[in-house]
A and B are shown apart, each in its own frame.
Chain A
Amino acid sequence: MSAIKSVFSDSKSAFIPYISLGDPNYDLCVDWADALIRGGADILELGIPFSDPVADGPVIQKAFKRALANPFSMDTILGTTEKIHSLHPHIPLVYLTYFNPIFHYGFEKFAEKAKIAGIQGMIIPDLPYDTPETDELFKSLKRRGVDLIHLVTPATPLNRMKGIRDFASGFIYYVTSYGVTGERKSISADLEDRIKTTKEVFSLPVSAGFGISAPDQAKEISQYADGIIIGSAVQRIIEENGSNPSLCRKKLEEYAQSISGSLRGKNR
């Protein structure tokens, strides 16, 4: 069983927050990661900033812009990841990134260094399973026991899910709504059924993301999802408080506690 898969259990739902590495700089984002993990994160998603994030809404776009105001290099990303990993080695770290920076760095080199830095899974929203590069990257990651986590959306039909199945491991990132990342008030009515179908097809844990921000939303979805992914709401806390690091840390930890505590099997 992969380290990621072992986080999930039938009795509780996992909390998976997200931060953009480098926002507002590469030192402070280590603090944010620490705060979120102390607040109850079970897995942490680390965004590698990209200049043209087409699957992201305004909050993460702005975070990437702030991050890219610092000099960007994949080696800085990997070094920062290593720092986070050394603080909490038992917490699985997952990269969420667009494909171009990885392609540019080289699959083998990237997979090797990411594994050493503590990465246990990859999510790449602009790399569909049915491309030649997926085969190659998948092999590089698989050799090192790093999971390739795929997105499934309300627009993904059953035959496509079956195609994705050959390349998916760790967990499935179920996109709860149409559009891009960002906080939303309402969640689609058939979400429970869709997640149930996704679980049946993949025999993998299914975590729900896109649009979730409030503890009551997280609580409701955690009744049937194996994990809850929250990106924009976390990133908004950093956007609003990043210039005051101690306050920002506190708010992130409190927010993580409020979400984590609300999830199925985690009531405190």
Chain B
Amino acid sequence: MAKERSFTEKEGYFGDFGGRYSPEILTEALIELEDTYNKLRKDKKFQKDLEFYRRNYIGRPSPLTYAEKLTKAWGGAKIWLKREDLNHTGAHKINNTIGQALIAKAMGKRRIIAETGAGQHGVATATVGALFEFETAIFMGEEDLRRQKLNAIRMQMLGAKVIGVSSGTATLKDATSEAMRDWALNVSNTHYIVGSVIGPHPFPTIVRDFQKVVGDESKKQFKKENDKLPDAVVACVGGGSNAMGMYYAFLNDKKVKLYGVEAGGRGPSPGEHSATMLFGKTGFLHGTKTLVIQDDGGQVVPAHSVSAGLDYPGVGPEHAHLHSSGRVKYETVSDQGALDAFMEVCRVEGIIPALETAHAFRFAKDLAKELGKKKDILICLSGRGDKDVAEVARLVGLSQGDLI
């Protein structure tokens, strides 16, 4: 009897990772999404529309900034920043939501849903919901709602329904599960805008493709400015979309060292960090085969990070592959290290970075010293930190009086 497989065993996989491990009720929607995207990616009008919104709505290309003050302060390699914080809505997330909203429109879907941790993906989804007139629902863990109140308010102002998730650890992992459940119920009229390079095939590929603009622009801008490529590229990794977008252009440039920085949290004990590359084992979570922080029984262990956006016990399958192949080196930075870097970048360079990116900054500080003055480090400044100021102020003990 002939097997009628909807995709070959290798399609949608990155080495041993990736694939489509989702409930059967979602499979047809995933196949429809894959087929639609395969057509659209070659469609000139789609590419033209995407380019239009990138230039005229997001504000691309985002600048490449030489961080002169940080370079001086850290006393090592030159520091360059890819300014995704200057995009409309304040992070790289809008690159993906604009693209997926155009796909949803092409599929005739009227409703979009999303999961969000730090809220930047929620805001970016609510924004395209308003722009393209979708009914929009955003799932967000109750703990993240507390930490990222400002973004929750922004989403509501943009017309989205924000649904608090109290199950499990009430963070990104549970918001993702809840969004998948909603999608299973409403799959005929709803598109799920997955916010990172995670989830069942084709999401990791789609999200990477919409984020690779970050690396493509960076490469061009850096070459123009320096007539060479950077020696090292650093990005923070939760699910890993800004990092994947940044790395993709450099994967074949073997002289460029690529670093991913995960949340080391409060320490190495289970539940105290989100360092998937260091502590994760191969497993299946949210529809994909990837590295997952899990216990001896195969139960997923809750993750922790001071940054809601990194607080995820899995990672994109392409990252898992880049880790196992050794092309990208993954490191960790603690909560305290990230808070220190957050404050330092604010005061030295006049930029308030997202707490997620602060992890990348802290790692880059040591790397700059290690590489020395003749080298160049490019950091993906994935988003701005307005959303984090209240939480950071609380954690570093700044009272309102101090702030005034």
Query: Which residues of A are interface residues toward B (Cβ below 8 A)?
Result: 49-55, 57-58, 61, 65, 68, 72-74, 98-105, 125-128, 130-132, 150-157, 159-160, 162-163, 165-166, 175, 178-180
Contact = CB atoms under 8 A, between A and B. Distances in A.
B66 interface: no
Contact of B23 (A57, A126, A163): A126
B336 interface: no
Contacts, number: 133
Contacts of B25: 55, 153-155, 175, 178-179
Interface stretch (B96-104, B254-262, B293-301): B293-301
B227 interface: no
A103 B3 CA distance: 24
A159 B2 CA distance: 11
B184 interface: yes
Given A100-B284, A104-B283, A163 B4 contact: yes
Contacts of B1: 165-166
A179 B24 contact: no
B177 to A, nearest CB: 5
Given A100-B283, A103-B283, A131-B21, A57 B298 contact: no
Q: Which of B23, B27, B28, B187 has the most CB of A within 10 A?
A: B23
B181 A52 contact: no
B185 interface: yes
B29 interface: yes
Interface of A, helix, strand, loop or mixed by DSSP: loop
Contacts of A178: 25, 184-188
A73 B296 contact: yes
B294 A131 contact: no
B22 interface: yes
A51 B168 contact: yes
B184 A128 contact: no
A221 B246 CA distance: 54
B22 A100 contact: no
Contact of A54 (B4, B177, B292): B177
B: contact size bracket? 35 or more
B24 A100 contact: no
B19 interface: yes
A231 to B, nearest CB: 14
Contact of A61 (B29, B167, B188, B282): B167
B24 A128 contact: yes
B237 interface: no
Contacts of A55: 23, 25, 181, 184
B298 A100 contact: yes
A77 B9 CA distance: 32
Given A153-B25, A156-B28, 8 more contacts: A55-B23, A55-B25, A101-B297, A104-B283, A105-B298, A131-B21, A155-B28, A166-B1
B20 interface: yes
B27 A156 contact: yes
Given A51-B168, A74-B297, A159 B4 contact: yes
A126 B22 CA distance: 5
Contact of B6 (A53, A163, A165, A179): A163
Contacts of B185: 178-180
Given A99-B284, A126-B284, A155-B28, A72 B188 contact: no
A73 B181 CA distance: 27
A49 B295 CA distance: 13
Contacts of A99: 21, 284
Top 8 closest A-B pairs, CB basis? Answer: A104-B298, A179-B185, A101-B298, A163-B4, A55-B23, A153-B25, A51-B300, A72-B297
Nearest to A98: B284
B287 interface: yes
A130 B28 CA distance: 13
Contacts of B180: 54
Given A55-B23, A99-B284, A178-B188, A130 B6 contact: yes
A57 B181 contact: yes
Contacts of B294: 100, 104
B298 A179 contact: no
Contacts of A68: 299
Nearest to A167: B3
B369 interface: no
Contacts of B4: 159-160, 162-163
8 contacts: A54-B22, A61-B167, A151-B23, A151-B24, A156-B24, A163-B5, A166-B3, A175-B25
Interface in B21-67: 21-29
Contacts of B286: 52, 54
Given A72-B299, A104-B297, A155 B284 contact: no
A163 B3 CA distance: 5
A180 B177 CA distance: 11
Contacts of A151: 23-24
B187 A131 contact: no
A268 to B, nearest CB: 35
A68 B295 CA distance: 12
B285 interface: yes
Nearest to A97: B298
B321 interface: no
Contacts of A50: 298-299
A126 B23 CA distance: 5
A105 B186 CA distance: 34
Contacts of B9: 131-132
Given A52-B286, A153-B25, A156-B24, A100 B5 contact: no
B238 to A, nearest CB: 17
B273 interface: no
Contact of B184 (A105, A132, A150, A179): A179
Contacts of B295: 72
A67 B116 CA distance: 28
